Amino acid sequence: MAELTYRTAGESHGPGVVSILEGLPRGVRVDTDFIDGELRRRQGGYGRGARQRIESDVADYLGGVRLGRTTGGPVAMLIPNRDSRLDDLKRTRPVERPRPGHADLAGSLKWLVPDCRETLERASARETAGRTGMGALARCMLKDLGIEVFGFVRGGGPDPAAMGDFKVDESNWRELRDAREASEVYLPDPAASEAMIASIRQAKIDKDTVGGFVEVHVFGCPPGLGSCVQWSDRLDARLAYAVMGIQAFKAVEIGLGTECGRRNGSKVHDPIGFDADRTDERNLGFVRESNNAGGLEGGMTDGMPVVVRGTMKPIATLLQGLPSVNLVTRKPENSQYERSDISAIAAASVVAENVVALEIARAVRAKFGGDSMEEVSAQMETYLRLARELGSSAT
């Protein structure tokens, strides 16, 4: 059926990350180079820990793909872990001094176990390899429909200079993507990128960690994805859920986001114009000179690019440790150190890009239905033709 759903299973140091993506039509070209490229990008970025030198992520397809195309069945994907040692108790010591800000204490209380190991193994962002792989596969379908997703790091950390000041639109995003590729923190502004790298370098010296802000822009969405009919089908809500569902994300904004609360309506809402000469496949002639709404009004795409921003807190595992309590002795002790990233903001931008893609793909499947790629494309074309004719028969 056309409902797109996705799940993951697997522990950080288990045999691998298993993902099931259900609801893609038959006939999506599975671009394995692109998908494995996204997995590689997720492993990268300045400030990451030693784990990424051990792993070399590649997706294996255990179901739902034949001769390079989806079959219409659930896609089962396995990303093996090289650092697999969960049952080797000498190499996976108990964690009894929970890290403030990590899942350790809450999980130990939830599952009634003083060793935080099992909680942290599943809470770990190793799992995001699965969501990245599935999102990249969903993007193979989106690209065939002319929908492109672009994610990057906007900035972060304590230095105000580590914040990119640039606009993103349909005309410049490919150039920005090249600049992102040239940045070790996936921040397409060379000066801000340097400042951010310096912040992470300093945090390493200080045995501290760095968070940041990521942004995802989606180009080419037809209008009408999502719905205002039920809260749970609003695309803005689904996007927020997906991005907040990434480990360590603590805020999500759409378009102008929290800034809306500081401005009057006349300075927020994007005036609507019409210019028949600017009618193209997606825009249908409705012109918006600004996009404070981030491409979403009433929980539905309005034809403008979708813009989602996420805030990631700094990593909770600090080499200096933080005040904590030993769960066995109940005595105060510093939190335990586990091999860790200093900053994972670059990797997180890749995860965000791909979970946003999953939600856009989910909305595409809900709107256009169909069992095969041919049907999805034909349905979308029919809808766009009807939308272009909107109002033309009015008397």
Ligand X SMILES: Cc1cc2nc3c(=O)[nH]c(=O)nc-3n(C[C@H](O)[C@H](O)[C@H](O)COP(=O)(O)O)c2cc1C
**Of 172, 79, 80, 175, the residue nearest 132 (C-alpha):** 79
Label the pairing between strands 69-70 and 286-287.
unpaired
Residue 270 interacting with ligand X (CB under 6 A): no
| Residue of the chain from 124, 227, 292, 311 that contacts ligand X (CB under 6 A) | 124
DSSP 265: G
Stretch that binds ligand X, among 107-115, 133-141, 156-164, 337-345 (CB under 6 A): 337-345
Q: According to the binding rule CB under 6 A, does residue 300 interact with ligand X?
A: no
Q: 201 CB contacts (<8 Å, ≥6 apart)?
A: none
Of the candidate residues 136, 347, 355, 373, the single one contacting ligand X (CB under 6 A): 347
Nearer to ligand X, 180 or 288 (CB): 180
Instruction: Report in angstroms the alpha-carbon separations of 33 from 137, 354, 369.
Output: 11, 15, 27
344 binds ligand X per the rule CB under 6 A: yes
Is residue 248 at the binding interface for ligand X, with CB under 6 A as the rule? yes
From 19, 43, 70, 247, residue interacting with ligand X (rule: CB under 6 A): 247
Of residues 292 and 311, the one with the C-beta less far from ligand X: 311
341 touching ligand X, by CB under 6 A: yes
Which residues within the stretch 85-114 sit at the binding site for ligand X (CB under 6 A)?
Answer: 102-103
What are the two backbone dihedrals, phi and then psi, of residue 219, each rounded to the nearest 5 degrees?
-110, 145
Nearer to ligand X, 197 or 284 (CB): 197
Q: Does 351 bind ligand X (CB under 6 A)?
A: yes
Neighbours of 302 (CB within 10 A): 20
Q: Is 315 in the site for ligand X (CB under 6 A)?
A: yes
Distance CA(387)–CA(368), nearest Å, equals 14
Contact 368, 146 (CB under 8 A): no
Interaction between residue 349 and ligand X (CB under 6 A): no
| Alpha-carbon Rg for the chain in angstroms | 22
What's the closest the beta carbon of residue 291 comes to ligand X, in angstroms?
27
Residues 15-54 that bind ligand X (CB under 6 A): 49
DSSP 8-state class, residue 29: B
Q: Smallest Cα–Cα separation from 226: which of 259, 257, 248, 254?
A: 254
CA angle (378 as vertex; 377, 379 as ends), nearest 5: 90
Residue from 199, 335, 340, 349 touching ligand X (CB under 6 A): that is: 340
Task: Return residues touching ligand X (CB under 6 A).
Answer: 49, 102-103, 123-125, 128, 246-248, 315-317, 340-341, 344, 347-348, 351
